[in-house]
Amino acid sequence: MSSHHFVKEQQEPALLILSTKGLEYENLAPLLEWSPTVVVAQEEVNKVISWGIKIDLILADLNFQQENYKLLEAQYPVKFIGVTEEAYLEEALQYLVATKHEAVNIIGFPHQKVFTLEQKLEFIDLVVWDAPLRYFPVKNGQFKKWFTTCSIQIHAPEGTFVEVIAEDQNQIHQISYATFIEVEEGLLTLKSNQVFWIGEFVAED
């Protein structure tokens, strides 16, 4: 049990569910493989329970806590994290950083707002799922990965320059809203002088 506890608390990215719109259980199942800490906003609790997912922490205002106190027993050992003014994301990230989680998958956060998260990247690694894409930040100016043939989005402040280096060509992209590029199978390197995010379509089996 101690090894499981170590994985849950330290290594496996936590799972923060703010919205399930556009997602099915099958999209989340791979993220549950190693029993991550599961944190859920109050509006999504019933949906997540219906999927059979065990919740660890519920982000809830005082009214929800009072009206759903039975969840503490039904989902034991679930805990409430008190939230005011619907500050679910902020409260969740504060908790996860304080409990020394190294990473979190954020489900249902609008990708247009990922730039507001960048001050958190010093403390915790973030992957944002905004159906049907998942977004991850490139913090150190360069990212290299083997891609299959696909379409990816490069998400950065308007006017940012990102260099895309494939095996047979280099291209400079000036980012505008929803900049998608078509990628051929092979090793791809992306470079910029500031933080940018890469959006990949979530695979559907």
pLDDT tens per residue, range 139-179: 888 999 999 999 999 999 899 999 999 988 899 999 987 79
Q: What ranges do the domains of the chain cover?
A: 2-131, 138-201
What pLDDT was estimated at residue 163? 96
pLDDT 10s digits, 121-141: 999 999 999 988 999 999 888
User: Residue 139: how many CB atoms within 10 A of its CB?
Assistant: 15
What pLDDT was estimated at residue 56? 96
| Of residues 173, 132, 134, the one with CA closest to residue 156 | 173
Task: Give residue 10's pLDDT band: very low, low, confident or very high (50, 70, 90).
Answer: low
* pLDDT exceeds cutoff 60 at 11: yes
**Pair 86, 60: CB distance under 8 Å:** no
Task: Tell me how far apart the alpha carbons of residues 154 and 169 are, in angstroms, rounded to a whole number.
Answer: 18
- Coil vs helix vs strand at 153: strand
pLDDT 10s digits, 178-188: 799 999 999 99
* pLDDT exceeds cutoff 70 at 31: yes
What pLDDT was estimated at residue 27? 87
> Using CA of residue 99, residue 101, residue 65, residue 61, what is the dihedral sign?
positive
* pLDDT exceeds cutoff 90 at 76: no
What pLDDT was estimated at residue 203? 67
Task: Tell me how far apart the alpha carbons of residues 151 and 19 are, in angstroms, rounded to a whole number.
Answer: 25
Check whether domain 2-131 has CATH 2.60.40.10, yes or no: no
